Amino acid sequence: MSDPTQLTEIADSDAESGADDNERSAPKKWGIGFWIAVAWLTLVVALSALAPYLPFVDSPSEFPDLAAPSLEGPTADHWFGVNQNGDDLFSQVVNGARTSLIIGLSVMTLGFLIGGSLGLIAGFFRGKVDRVISAVVDILLAFPALVLALALIGILSGGDATLPVVILALSLLSVAPLARITRAATLSFAEREFVTAARTLGAKNGRIILREILPNVIPPMAAFALTVIALVIVAEGALAFLGLSVSSPAPTWGKLISEGRAEIEDHGHWALFPSGVMFLTILALNYMGDVLQSRGTVREGAL
């Protein structure tokens, strides 16, 4: 799903809905699927945050453990089985989640800060500033971002990427969509009565943006951010597959899957478990994002 166009579509649909958060209609049920998604993500986040303190998660090591059995399917000791070097795959998947989540969250944060600021400025001041920012955003949205990210990483680090370089390159994927969605939401609030009221009271632009508009545009951005995290996790996996992601002993999901691919016929568990965990995480993120976004739309429709 490394697909920026999908983001564009979501951004467009959200631009129309303009999510209104002040008039809350009667609380609706979130649905069981939503809570399952929340539970799964909580589990993944908790495990990866607590990984160094958990007795059943080995820390990543650079050297193969020769005493351990190699390439064994799931057992009571090794829930996801063992890889060629005798590493416990469950531990690897948990440690991979750490890297993947750190990258996903950092890229999302960068997108929020840079894209969000650009969107707020464009949507609030409009006119020439808006035209310039929108043109840049359109260009970024239009271009094959993964190819640019690839070229950027390649040129900056030539196959030996560090975490900051990977994060920087992947933020090419998050800045533009978040700028667009923030701009759309800002546009829909900039003309509202409470903004006029604040201005009448003599509030300066900076204060209006930070205190009046920002709190209102954060919910649609947050719903969208989940989709961005999913996108980034997939993109990081793609980079790992090409050998261009973070080079360190710490595994990422993409790296685990690409290692397991070689043994897929005889020892399918190696690729299967990381793929499955990745699939469920992306599914959960997408689903939560969908639900949150559609609630924004429904509320608008109910007005």
Partner 1 sequence: MKFVAVRAVQLVVVLVTATFFVFSLTFLADGDDAVVDSILQIEAGSETRRAEVEEGLNIDDPLPVRYVKWAGDAVTGDFGRSYVLGRDVSDLLVEPLKRTLALVVYAQIIAILLAVPAGIIAAYRANTWIDRGVSTGAIGLLAVPNYVMAIFLVFLFASTWKVFPGIVDSDLQIFDFKSYFLPSLSLALGQVAVYMRLLRTDMIATLQEDFIGMAKAKGLTTRSILFRHALRPSSLSLVTSVGLSTGALIGGTVIIEQIFAMPGMGTLVVRAIFQDDIFVIQAVVAVIAFAFVLINFLVDLFYAVLDPRIRSV
User: 73 by DSSP, 3-state: which?
Assistant: coil
Min CB(164)–partner 1 separation in Å? 15
Residue among 228, 129, 109, 112 at smallest CA distance from 179: 112
Our finding on whether 282 is near partner 1 (CB under 8 A) is yes
Count of residues that bind partner 1 according to CB under 8 A = 52
CA angle 120, 126, 132 (to 5 degrees): 90
C-alpha span between 166 and 18 (Å, rounded): 32
257 binds partner 1 (CB under 8 A): yes
Q: Which is nearer to partner 1, 115 or 274 (CB)?
A: 274
State yes or no: residue 252 binds partner 1 (CB under 8 A).
Answer: no
Confirm or reject binding of residue 297 to partner 1 (CB under 8 A).
Answer: no
CB atoms within 10 A of CB 164: 12
- CB of 91 vs partner 1, minimal distance in Å: 21
Q: Given candidates 135, 197, 222, 302, which one binds partner 1 under the rule CB under 8 A? A: 135
Write out the two tokens for 94. 């948990």
Among 43, 45, 105, 148, binds partner 1 (CB under 8 A): 148
Tokens 């070229």 belong to: 151
Asked if 264 interacts with partner 1 (CB under 8 A), we say yes
In the complex, the smallest distance separating the C-beta of residue 231 from partner 1, rounded to whole angstroms, is 10
Q: What is the 3-state secondary structure (H, E, C) of 90-151?
A: HHHHHHHHHHHHHHHHHHHHHHHHHHHHHHHHHHHHCHHHHHHHHHHHHHHHHCCHHHHHHH
Contact letters for partner 1, residues 91-130 (x by CB under 8 A)? ----------------------------------------
Q: Cα(295)–Cα(223) distance, rounded to whole angstroms?
A: 10
Q: Is 139 in the site for partner 1 (CB under 8 A)?
A: yes
Question: Using CA atoms, how far apart are residues 234 and 230, in angstroms rounded to an integer?
Answer: 6
Q: Which of 158, 202, 206, 301 binds partner 1 (CB under 8 A)?
A: 158
Site string for partner 1, 228-247 (x = CB under 8 A): --x---x--xx--xxxx---
C-beta pairs of 195-202 under 8 Å, 24+ apart in sequence: none
Give me the residues that bind partner 1 (CB under 8 A), please. 1-6, 8-9, 135, 138-139, 142-148, 150-156, 158-159, 230, 234, 237-238, 241-244, 254, 257-258, 261, 264-265, 268, 271, 275, 278-280, 282-283, 286-287, 290
